[in-house]
Amino acid sequence: MSKWLFIRAAFARAYVRIKGGNREPSWILWEVVLPLLMISSVVYAYQSLKAPPEYIGFVILGGAMMSFWFNVLWGMGSSLYWEKETGNLEAFMTTPSPLEGLLLGMAIGGMVNTATRALSIIVMGSLFFNVKFEILALPSALLIFLLTLLALYTLGIGLASLYLMYSRSGWRASELLQEPIMFISGLYYPLSVLPTFLQIIASLFPLAVGLDGIRKALIYNASLAELGVHVLLLVMMSVILAFTARKLLRYMEWKAKIEGRLILRWM
Amino acid sequence: MDVAKLLRRVYAISWLSWQELSNWTHPAIFMAYTLVRPIFGILLYAYIYVAFAISSGKANPSAAFYLITGVSFYNYIGNGIYGVVWVIHEERDHYRLLKYTYVSYPSLQGYLAARGLVHYVIGFILSLVSIGIGFTVTGLSPSLQPNIPLLIVNLIVGMAWCTSIGITVSSLSLFSSEYGPLISESVGGLLFLVGSVIFPAKELPPWLYTLSEALPMKEWMELMRHSINTSYVPGNVQGLLVSQLMKALFYVTLSYVVFKALDRLVRLKGGLEATLEH
């Protein structure tokens, strides 16, 4: 595979995604307001329970990070399903552009677009509910954040490969991956409230590890040394997921071709 | 009106709804798929209570009952509204069927209402499953004293206003394939926020509370709680029922008028089959 072609394909796909995702300002507004509805519900629930104030920060950070998971599921995972439905997948497969390059472009575009939404969620949520974060811990939080994105989006590339084989059932699989991951990642609460066996399972998911690290940094002012385990876990996950995603992509493409399902819609 | 003919239509559309929902896999997998989301959904919210109980060091059974029943019964409304609102987007953009539906069924409005029925049935079953799981996780074991007639009446009235809101929203999504799914999710999210689902609506800021008063969700949710356990008294039960009925009547009328008008307008503008090519 030509590296130059790989980079050009990634750049071209990222450009389309960023340009397309920001062309309509009302979309951005919806994508910020919608998660804020759920975040506000949980914040009000905590306030009515008279829970400790740091829980409000947990909820806002959880809601912001969850938008990356939704982007991985629906913007990365399911994107090949949409390309299949609209007839673009045939074009992708017949051009010399490597599929990995296209998926990398989708990942970069998705990260950039979602980052603007997530940041808006944090800013608006913090202002509306008067939440304070430890700004001095921002560098550690940023490192954890970037490593989390790396691991999450390599996972997204792996998920996308499933859509080369499956369509409607793949879509349902993406739906299935919403609530369980929200639960296990501690979207609205610290992971420490989960039973030990669930905490062990949670440590296998990049979102859970990343969210926990970011919360520890921004709410409890944890230093980078205290977040060493988080960094190590996220680096390991990124390497393993990148390797697995590449293998899975090749395998699913081969399997979809020999079974004639590559461009079969609606099954 | 030929009731037998109407029921045959409703049956046929419900069957279509069921097939569209379930025929992509084996029944066992479909059942697991249907259960996984609400089970993890209730666990997610149950752990909000667990986190509060751990941090405060005290249990609050009435708060747990409120939260668990709210999230559980929301399955009914959430599923129902999704079942109605998603149809336009799905039939127009995914399956390119809307035009055939339009010419083969006498009323698109009636079709939308019938498409939602299966979703309400599934939503109700999921509500019961969620309540069981939620009570177990939060350590609640209330001796429930249900009022079955009130429960049935409330489910029917809830279905009426929820379907009507869904139809009104669908009439807006007739104009926009781009915003259809977002409108659907926003209405669901809004009902969750202002409908006394996981916290009492009176906790809302005044401008949001006004919105809560305009919707029948708050009354419906409080009556559901009361109907499964009459020892939970949300205030004047009769007053809540009358208020909900009045609002339901308003939304049924509104949906009829708005849908008729916008349906006519979208055809005049030639936008009925405008797809997004998502």
The predicted pLDDT at position B168 comes to 94
Find the mean pLDDT for residues A68-80: 85
B215: left (phi over 0), alpha (psi -120 to 50) or beta: beta
Set of chain A residues whose Cβ sits within 8 Å of the Cβ of B51:
51, 55, 188-190, 193
Find the mean pLDDT for residues A249-266: 80
* pLDDT at residue A265 greater than cutoff 70: no
Domain range annotation of chain B:
8-268
Find the mean pLDDT for residues A183-200: 92
**Residue A266's pLDDT band (boundaries 50, 70, 90)?**
low
Domain range annotation of chain A:
3-258
* B175, HSE (Cβ side, Cα atoms, 13 Å): 15
> Which of A 92-151 lie inside 8 A of B, CB atoms?
none
The predicted pLDDT at position A174 comes to 81
Q: Which of B22, B37, B54, B55 should we substitute to test contact with A (largest number of A Cβ atoms within 10 Å)? A: B55
Q: How far is CA A170 from CA A25, A82, A162, A174, A175, in A?
A: 30, 11, 7, 6, 9
The predicted pLDDT at position B132 comes to 94
Set of chain B residues whose Cβ sits within 8 Å of the Cβ of A26:
179
The predicted pLDDT at position A259 comes to 82
Say what the pTM is. Answer: 0.87
The predicted pLDDT at position B278 comes to 46
Which candidate from B41, B193, B277 shows the least CB-CB separation from A37?
B193
How many angstroms away from the CA of A40 is the closest CA of chain B?
7
Which candidate from B37, B198, B200 shows the least CB-CB separation from A176?
B37
A153-176 pLDDT, tens per residue? 999 888 888 877 776 677 778 888
CA distance linking residue A89 with residue A85, whole number of Å = 8
Residues 6+ positions from A62 with CB-CB distance below 8 Å: A39, A185, A186, A187, A188, A211
The predicted pLDDT at position A171 comes to 76
- Sites in chain B below the pLDDT cut of 70: 276-278
The predicted pLDDT at position B20 comes to 85
The predicted pLDDT at position A256 comes to 82
